[in-house]
Amino acid sequence: MTKSADGDKHANKGNDGDPADVFAALSDPTRQQLLAMLANEPQSASALARNVDVSRQAIAKHLSALEAVSLVRGTKLGRELQFHVDPTGLTSAADWIATTTQNWERRLDRLGELLDE
């Protein structure tokens, strides 16, 4: 994880798949709101800014943080960038959750076996 010039912590472009970076990006309620909006349809930063109570510059910062961890991707459409959800970042987080869940299930199963003895 790196710190950008604006002081926000987020992963470098080309995310190495570290789920901690994805969770950090998702910890911000505004970013969660942007992702929810983009799940419905691709939108420009200007369109997103009209529906969120933060400045256009703040939207750009949030989109940059989400893009850095592969949660959104911008595609040039005419003169604007259209942002849409990119499932790549969610996959790394989901894989981590699945692995962690399996590890804890094995541990709890073993604990149950020990308690039954």
Give the per-residue pLDDT at 23: 93
Edge-to-edge strands, sheet with 80-85: 43-44, 80-85, 72-77
User: Considering the chain, what is the average pLDDT of its residues?
Assistant: 86
Instruction: State the alpha helices, DSSP H only, in 4-87.
Output: 19-26, 29-40, 45-50, 56-68
Full pLDDT tens readout for the chain, 117 residues: 444 333 444 444 445 568 999 999 999 999 999 999 999 999 999 999 999 989 999 999 999 999 999 999 999 988 889 999 998 888 988 999 999 999 999 999 999 988 888
How confident is the model over 66-78, as pLDDT tens digits?
999 999 999 998 8
CATH architecture for the domain at 2-116: Orthogonal Bundle (1.10)
DSSP designation for 12: P
Q: What is the pTM of this model?
A: 0.74
Domain parsing of the chain, residue ranges:
2-116
